[in-house]
Amino acid sequence: MSTEAEAMRPPPLPAYAPPLPVTPPVAGLPQKSRRAAAAAACLVVGLGLVTGAIAGTWAAAGPQDRPAAQAAYARGGTLWQNVPVDTLFPPAVHADAAGPGGADRDWTRIGVAPDGGCTGAFDPLLTKALAPVGCKRLLRATYADATSTSVTTVGLLITDTDPAGMRALRDRFTEERLDERPDLMPRPYAPKGTVADGFGDAQRGSWRISVLTDVPVVVYAVTGFADARTGIPPQPADQAVVPGATTAPAQAGLGHDAAALAEQTERTYRAAARQSPQEARR
């Protein structure tokens, strides 16, 4: 028999809740596309929040709090003003197993060019290829090997662009192999009264060009014979150092000289960019 209390009890809940109403579909948009659009919208919003937070952090941070890579890139554009020339271009350079057949190599600096602009420093087509990144400063030095048989000019082109500009230049050099073209070569610096006195465009035998992206710098080296001989078809250093190469630049070690001195200069500049300004002056 039903009592008054029983009459006041609510009816029992169903075993399963009824389904939620379905959102009406957007006309002309398939269901898969709707799901993808919703996911994409969430992703865009999320990325926007993250990117905004990061950008705000970088903007608010002082130089000491910026990411190390960002700070190194910035220093790379100005450190030439404070770092001693003997650091960038040491008076003597030694490299183990850097010559043909794994021979050790030694070079002596015979001249340093006054720092300045890039006018006349490159073949015309190379000048055109480098133009998008600008030329803030050009630093050059010339070395002779231990026997004064070969001479090499090493250069540091300090550009006037951001990391994206350097990446674009590197990609173009890589994709179009501009660093292998003999009509896009650096020109030598020939200090008067030295064994490099006769080192001109016609004497170039091998070269190397490296576009860096962690610092705003293009590093290059160009090598020739000290006796001013001509008529030697120039060969890119990366090809001249291949074991078994029989060209004159390969057998004489011109490619080895260009490659080793360019690598030495590149390492030195990168290391200086990673240091604090106070450390770099030491």
The radius of gyration of the chain's CA atoms, rounded to the nearest angstrom, is 31
Burial class (CB in 10 A: 0-12, 13-18, 19+), 42: exposed
Confidence of residue 212 (pLDDT cuts 50, 70, 90): very high
pLDDT for residue 50: 36
pLDDT band at 275 (very low <50, low <70, confident <90, very high): confident
Hey, which of 30-44, 91-105, 145-159 has the most confident mean pLDDT? 145-159
pLDDT for 90 = 97
220 in Cβ contact with 155 (< 8 Å): yes
Per-residue pLDDT tens digits for 239-263: 999 999 999 999 999 999 999 999 9
Q: How confident is the model at residue 13 (pLDDT cuts 50, 70, 90)?
A: very low
Residues, the chain: 282
Quote the pLDDT of residue 66: 62
Tens of pLDDT, residue by residue over 43-102, are: 333 434 333 433 333 333 345 546 889 999 999 999 999 999 999 999 999 999 888 888
What confidence score (pLDDT) does residue 6 get? Answer: 39
How many Cβ atoms from other residues are within 10 Å of residue 197's Cβ? 15
Residue pair 212/219 in contact (Cβ under 8 Å)? The answer is: yes
Q: Across 4-64, where does the E strand assignment appear?
A: none
- Which tokens belong to 262? 């360019």
In whole angstroms, what is the distance from residue 95 CA to residue 78 CA?
28
Query: In 4-106, where does DSSP find H-type helix?
Result: 4-8, 31-60, 68-76, 85-88
When pLDDT is cut at 50, 70 and 90, the band that residue 15 belongs to is: very low
pTM of the model: 0.75
